[in-house]
Amino acid sequence: MAYQATGQTPSGYLNPGYSISSEVGPGMSAPPLSEGPSAPTFNIDFDNVPGYEGTVAGGGGGFLPPPMPSFPNPPPPQPEPSQAQWNIPSISEDTAREALALYASSKCCYSSAPAKDGVITNMEAFNTYRYRLETFTESRSTEWSQKPYHGEPVDAFTQPIPGPWDIIAQAPTLFNDSKQVIKVPYTSSMKNCHYCMGMGRVACKHCAGAGNKVCWVCHGSGNNHGDERNCHHCNGRGRENCTPCHGQGSTECSTCHGRRQLLVNINLTVKWTNNSSDYIVEQSSGLLLENLNQVTGKELFKDAQYLVYPVMGFPDLNVVSAAERLIREHQTTYSATSRILQQRQTIELIPITKVTYKWKGKSHIYFVYGNEFKVNADNYPATCCCTIM
């Protein structure tokens, strides 16, 4: 009865990677779910093999929950990040001016005059911190695979089938998305092709299996129009050979390629995913935070281990509480659906400078941010050099 308490069905698990779209508009209807004659059925019952109960044919195989994770002992307390590194760097006026000039020249129509002739009147730092948590996970799912049978040896049940989490996959590159498909040993068998019922051929769609159809020139009369002579196209037969099946009435089965039998086995898909979340401390600079997604900052702190612990002793408490929250969220979310292999947390200091300058008697502002000195100047005063002002 234990499984009932968890809310999981005994027959398998829903794969979270496959959701049913609800975007069916009015007047449209979802395709019927009935399975036609091509729906594969398998004559070997793997429902009794632990870990393979929910395996289905085709895409979207059963998601396999990982076994209970084993948590390591907590690590010794981390050293506090060195206080000396938190001081706030600033860019020079020259750097600010060059960045704006580069920005103006990158826009095809912008005039360089404001960048060249503008006079900087104020530079204000709004440097901020970005905390990033990455959780590198492995998830596993199974599905049936089939291909035309060419006499390969089959091994279903010749030995105990290893559990899906016992199969050894390649070593992934940490924090990089990838996947591997592995044939599950001792699950391959041969079966009659379900599409052609083991015949190797199926009735031709173009002639409904007849091998010929009504002559398109004489429409079946066998005569030329208004004339007693035989139709030149069908020689008076009234019918012509079907071209797609060469008059045979059947075509090779596309599922078994005419082999009559299929080799079927369970495939295990191992998927590695880097799940990343950012937290940026909000500053009242006027620069939208999403701009910062395009730049890097100065890395102040980096820590990678199996499960990270919330950063301690950091001077900005917003970062400390965001780290606590994200670590809790990641560990709850990802350990439920996958196996956490590694976590990494980083803190970057992203420089942001708000520059005020005067051009033609008016005040304007722009932002220079990131290690890349990226510029945001939404109200650049001369956005069209073609217009004579």
Nearer to Zn ion, 154 or 202 (CB): 202
- For residues 245 and 266, which CB has a smaller minimum distance to Zn ion in the complex? 245
Q: Which of 96, 99, 184, 204 binds Zn ion (CB under 5 A)?
A: 204
By beta-carbon proximity to Zn ion, the closer residue of 206 and 358 is: 206
Residue 206 interacting with Zn ion (CB under 5 A) = yes
CA distance 245 to 250: 6
Is residue 242 involved in binding Zn ion (CB under 5 A)?
Answer: yes
Which of the residues 265 through 304 are near Zn ion (CB under 5 A)? none
Nearer to Zn ion, 237 or 325 (CB): 237
Q: Where does this chain touch Zn ion (CB under 5 A) — which range of 96-104, 171-179, 183-191, 253-261?
A: 253-261
Query: Based on CB atoms, which residue is closest to Zn ion, 199 or 382?
Result: 199
- Encoded one letter per residue, x for contact with Zn ion by CB under 5 A and - for no contact, window 212-231 reads ---x-xx------------x
Stretch of residues binding Zn ion (CB under 5 A), selected from 24-32, 69-77, 237-245, 314-322:
237-245
Contact between 154 and Zn ion per CB under 5 A:
no
Residue with Cβ nearer Zn ion (104 or 215): 215
Residue 355 is a binding residue for Zn ion (CB under 5 A): no
Which member of 64, 207, 264, 308 binds Zn ion (CB under 5 A)? 207
Shortest distance (Å) from residue 26 CB to Zn ion: 40
Pairing of strands 56-57, 128-148: parallel
Encoded one letter per residue, x for contact with Zn ion by CB under 5 A and - for no contact, window 157-196 reads: ------------------------------------x-xx
Nearer to Zn ion, 252 or 324 (CB): 252
Contact call for residue 263 and Zn ion (CB under 5 A)? no
SS (H, E, C) the chain: CHHHHHCCECCECCCCCCCCCCCCCCCCCCCCCCCCCCCCCCCCCCCCCCCCCCCEECCCCEEECCCCCCCCCCCCCCCCCCHHHHCCCCCCHHHHHHHHHHHHHHCCCCCCHHHHHCEEEEEEECCEEEEEEEEEEEEEEEEEEEEECCCCCCCCCCCCCCCCCCCCCCCCCCCCCEEEEEECCCCCEEEECCCCCCCCEEECCCCCCCCEEECCCCCCCCECCCCCCECCCCCCCCEEECCCCCCCCEEECCCCCCCCEEEEEEEEEEEEEEEEEEEECCCCCCCCHHHHHHCCCEEEEEEEECCCCCCCCCCCHHHHHHHHHHHHHHHHHHHHHCEEEEEEEEEEEECEEEEEEEECCEEEEEEEECCCCEEECCCCCCCCCCCCC
Regarding 349 and contact with Zn ion (CB under 5 A), the answer is: no
Residue of 100, 104, 161, 234 that binds Zn ion (CB under 5 A): 234
Nearest CB to Zn ion, comparing residues 100 and 204: 204
**Under the rule (CB under 5 A), what is the footprint of Zn ion?**
193, 195-196, 204, 206-207, 215, 217-218, 231, 233-234, 242, 245, 253, 255-256
